[in-house]
Every structure is written in C-alpha cells, then in structure tokens.
C-alpha cells in the first residue's frame, strides 16, 4: 500500500493539478479536514490526505462523472485503500454514493464551504480571512448572485450531516483556514 502521508498527497496533487486556485482550494480543504480530525479525535494524517487530494483529478477531468471517478481509478491503480477512494467519490453529490463515515461526511461538509469562505474573504477590503466571521458568511449566503456556483444547499446539508450548527461549522472552517492563511493567499496586506 502506498504511504498515506502529506508528502505523498502533495506530490499526487501537483502531478495532476497546476492551477493555483485549485491548489489553494485543496490546502483549504486539507486544513479544514485536519481541524475536524482533531475535533473528532480521528486520524489527522488520513483526514488531511483525503482533504488534499479530493479534487486532484478535477483540472484534467472537470465534468461529471469523470470527476471524481477518474481520480478514484488512479487511486485504486496505485493501491490506496477503499476508505480513501470512497471518501473522494462520495464528496460529489452526483455519484449517488451515500456518505456513511464521519470522514466522508466531513469532506462533503467542508468542500463547498471553503470555496465560499474564500470568496467572502476576497471581497473584503483587507482580502484577509483573519477578519471574516460566521455572520458575514451567512449574510453573503443570502445573496444568490454572490459566488453563484457554490451550492448553499450543500453547505447547509454538510453541517446537518455532521450534526453541527451551521454558524458553529462556519466558524470552525474559518478557524481552520486562518491557520494556513498565508498559503491560501488570504493573510491580507
């Protein structure tokens, strides 16, 4: 079995992904997955690995069902465990794969939310995540034209699947992203 370590995930991500914005998204999801792994007392390396590679195939195969199924096939060929492959596949609603494990539910719950929080931070005068608060994220969620491609339903459903209040969930993901703000380009001035 291949090594489940951050360096292996980073190499896999960079083998298939060249877009700066997709790499930053992967870093945001990784930070959020690590935050929740600590919160739930789960395997931080495994959860971080899944967060970092969940969209590694997206740049080459952006359309359903190719993404995430092409990535799942690559992971399977390389000998990664089914737990990782299933989490990657289940984060895409259109696969029809149920999210059964806490790992799967957490990945789904942070994926869209990290993108939305990034958009909120980028429209602030500071362009910094350091002053983003859950209430400002909730306010922007009501604006259908803002970050229109982000599914508000998926954001709400993710918090529900985790059994966590939406404002608390948003705050948790903001805190996770703040911990890697420079890498995300969201540290401001």
Asked if residue 175 is part of any domain, the answer here is yes
Sign of the dihedral through C-alpha 16, 22, 26, 31:
positive
- pTM for the whole thing? 0.95
- The number of folded domains in the chain is 1
Could you tell me the CATH number of the domain that includes residue 150?
1.10.3210
Task: State mean pLDDT over 112-138.
Answer: 97
Q: What's the confidence (pLDDT) of residue 144?
A: 94
Write the pLDDT tens digit of every residue in 138-155: 999 999 999 999 999 999
Percentage of the residues of the chain whose pLDDT score is greater than 90: 86
Asked if residue 189 is part of any domain, the answer here is no
Write the pLDDT tens digit of every residue in 48-87: 999 999 999 999 998 888 889 899 999 999 999 999 999 9
Range of the domain at 82: 6-184
Asked if residue 58 is part of any domain, the answer here is yes
């Amino acid at each position: 079995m291949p090594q489940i370590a951050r360096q292996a995930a980073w190499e896999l991500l960079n083998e298939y992904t060249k877009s700066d914005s997709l790499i930053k998204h992967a870093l945001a999801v990784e930070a959020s997955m690590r935050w929740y792994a600590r919160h739930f007392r789960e395997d931080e390396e495994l959860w971080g690995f899944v967060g970092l590679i969940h969209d590694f195939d997206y740049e080459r195969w952006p359309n359903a069902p190719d993404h995430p199924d092409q990535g799942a096939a690559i992971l399977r060929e390389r000998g990664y465990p089914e737990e990782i492959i299933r989490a990657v596949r289940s984060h895409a609603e259109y696969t029809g794969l149920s999210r059964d494990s806490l790992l799967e539910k957490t990945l789904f719950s942070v994926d869209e939310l990290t993108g939305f929080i990034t958009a909120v931070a980028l429209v602030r005068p500071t362009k910094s995540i350091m002053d983003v608060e859950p209430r400002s994220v909730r306010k922007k969620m009501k604006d259908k034209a803002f970050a229109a491609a982000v599914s508000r339903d998926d954001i709400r459903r993710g918090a529900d699947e985790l059994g966590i209040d939406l404002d608390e969930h948003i705050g948790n993901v903001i805190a996770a992203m703040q911990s890697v703000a420079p890498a995300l380009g969201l540290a401001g001035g």
